[in-house]
Structure 1
Amino acid sequence: MVHTYHVTGMTCSSCEAKVKSALMGVEHVLSVDVSKDENAATITMEKHIPLDKLQKALPEKYQMTAIHHNEVTEQAKSWFATYKPILLIFMYITLVTTLVQLTNHHFEGMQWMRHFMAGFFLVFSFFKMLNLKGFAESYVMYDVIAMRFPAWAYIYAFTELALGIAFLVNFNPLITNSITFIVMSISIIGVLQSVLNKKKIQCACLGAVFNLPMSTVTIIEDALMIVMSGLMVFYQF
């Protein structure tokens, strides 16, 4: 990805060097071409980098503005590109569980949630199993239990698999949903701490297969499971 920016404040070759050096230090920047005569900087990057992040890297003397692209549009495209795998998974699971309901005479909300959670846990555990060691190494970086008891990272992957099967066969709904509520409630604590502290670490939700950053998407994912399991526990009484 290549973007060109208008840069003001450059008056000499030394300014060119300072701007280039500062921008090259930004994560995901591959190369930078700077021209004081054209007041421009052309940046080649691995993925779109927000303008405010580039600006923060520069001394206050220099100001950057986008020339040929819209920042809002580019950031939206970057967000969807980053989270495309998890968005597709949720879309597929939602589609399949909704299609199942077409075989019923009426929409059954509890059954829909049970099937959704079965699909969620089975798919997510599958990706963790592809590289169990890689998942465990990422998970211990933020999970409150795994940080103290590393073996929990491995146990957690198999717990997700077991929960997926339990939801699929409708095994003792009260026990299954109660365990889900407890496990996901504990899991979200580490996620919240990481996001609130702005830690730049990899989310282990899809194992080590995809490099997904820890973000509000992870919080929503865990919170959704907590809400669904909580509702189903509530309706057991």
Structure 2
Amino acid sequence: MNMKHTYNVTGMTCAGCQYKVQHLLSQVDHVTGAEVDLEHGKVTLNMDQHVNTTDLQAALKEYPKYQLTEEKSAAMPMNMAMDDTDKRTWFETYKPIVIIFAYILTVSIIAGSTILGFDERVAMRVFMAGFFLVFSFFKMLDLDAFADSYAMYDVVARKFKGWGYIYALLELTLGIAYATNFNPVITNVVTLVVMSVSIIGVLKTVLNKQSIQCACLGAVFNLPMSTVTIIEDGLMIIMSALMLFMS
């Protein structure tokens, strides 16, 4: 039976701490998801079977400033648990992504509209440039927090945390490449490969119904991993493939 347990965690002072604790506890056996409430100093863990508090404390032992203690009456069946995210509507939850996509799409349509007609290639190139530049910007605001969060689900970052830093820089580079129309073939091939690798971890997380925060907008927004993240990565894969074909 899936259970949800809440614990008190002291010592967290920033988003980097939040993602560090979330990452460390999510690696513990039988923990299927971790949600950290930085403001109230609490962490809620989803488990497929009970995990001793001592095992959870051991996961944080390399960072003694984080102290985990039990919260009384914290255990409850997962289907009876309700948190702030559950109470939000779909739009309230994904409002940042919806607005960002709307802005980028509007600029792309304007850029692709000419007196001779609509240029799909220009519109897609501008959309890709806007996507990578904006999303890399939010990651750059706190690279350490993004790397910790990304390592929770990405297949490469799980084995090599440095990939999180490289990935953020790659997004920035791809954004500039699309904006300047630098070697479309190379740019689209790199995008196709990078996003295809990225979507693997997202698919595994969503299909396994793990409760993990999405790192697509870095540590700025609290966005849950869901089919929205799959659509986001899938769209980039499809568009880069189409642009390669059109080239």
Report the counterpart of residue 97 of structure 1 in structure 2: 108
Across the two proteins, how many residue pairs are aligned to each other? 171
Q: For 1:135 and 1:114, locate their aligned partners in 2 and report how far apart those are by CA, in whole Å.
A: 26
Aligned-pair distance for 1:192? 0.1
Q: For 2:86 and 2:145, locate their aligned partners in 1 and report how far apart those are by CA, in whole Å.
A: 27
Q: Is there any run of 5+ residues in structure 1 with no aligned partner, and where?
A: 1-20, 29-45, 50-76
Aligned-pair distance for 1:118? 0.2
In 1, are the aligned partners of 2:112 and 2:120 still within 8 Å (CA)? no
- Tell me whether 1:234 sits opposite 2:245 in the alignment: yes
Report the counterpart of residue 172 of structure 2 in structure 1: 161
Superposition pairs for residues 97-176 of structure 1, below 5 Å? 97-176=108-187
Report the counterpart of residue 80 of structure 1 in structure 2: 91
In 1, are the aligned partners of 2:113 and 2:119 still within 8 Å (CA)? no
Aligned-pair distance for 1:155? 0.3
Report the counterpart of residue 180 of structure 1 in structure 2: 191
Report the counterpart of residue 4 of structure 2 in structure 1: none
Q: For 1:224 and 1:211, locate their aligned partners in 2 and report how far apart those are by CA, in whole Å.
A: 22
Q: For 1:189-229, what per-residue CA distance to the aligned partner results, in whole angstroms no more than 9, with x for missing partners?
A: 00000000001001000001001000000000000000000
Q: Is there any run of 5+ residues in structure 2 with no aligned partner, and where?
A: 1-74
Q: For 1:215 and 1:225, locate their aligned partners in 2 and report how far apart those are by CA, in whole Å.
A: 16
Aligned-pair distance for 1:99? 1.3
Aligned-pair distance for 1:235? 1.9
Q: Amino acid of the residue matched to residue 171 of structure 1?
A: F
Q: Amino acid of the residue matched to residue 26 of structure 1?
A: A
| Higher Rg of the two aligned structures | 1
Q: For 1:188 and 1:205, locate their aligned partners in 2 and report how far apart those are by CA, in whole Å.
A: 11
Q: For 1:118-152, what per-residue CA distance to the aligned partner results, in whole angstroms no more than 9, with x for missing partners?
A: 00000000000011111111000000001111100
Q: For 1:26-65, what per-residue CA distance to the aligned partner results, in whole angstroms no more than 9, with x for missing partners?
A: 242xxxxxxxxxxxxxxxxx3554xxxxxxxxxxxxxxxx
Report the counterpart of residue 71 of structure 1 in structure 2: none
- Greater RCO between the two (CA within 8 Å, min separation 6)? 2
Q: For 2:89 and 2:118, locate their aligned partners in 1 and report how far apart those are by CA, in whole Å.
A: 36
1:192 equivalent among 203, 219, 222: 203
> Per the alignment, in what secondary structure is the counterpart of residue 143 of structure 1?
coil
**Cα 1:234–1:103 shift into 2, 3 Å:** closer
- Tell me whether 1:201 sits opposite 2:232 in the alignment: no
Aligned-pair distance for 1:22? 6.3
**Cα 1:104–1:144 shift into 2, 3 Å:** farther
Give the root-mean-square deviation of aligned CA atoms: 1.7
Q: For 2:82 and 2:146, locate their aligned partners in 1 and report how far apart those are by CA, in whole Å.
A: 24
> Per the alignment, in what secondary structure is the counterpart of residue 117 of structure 2?
coil
- Tell me whether 1:225 sits opposite 2:236 in the alignment: yes
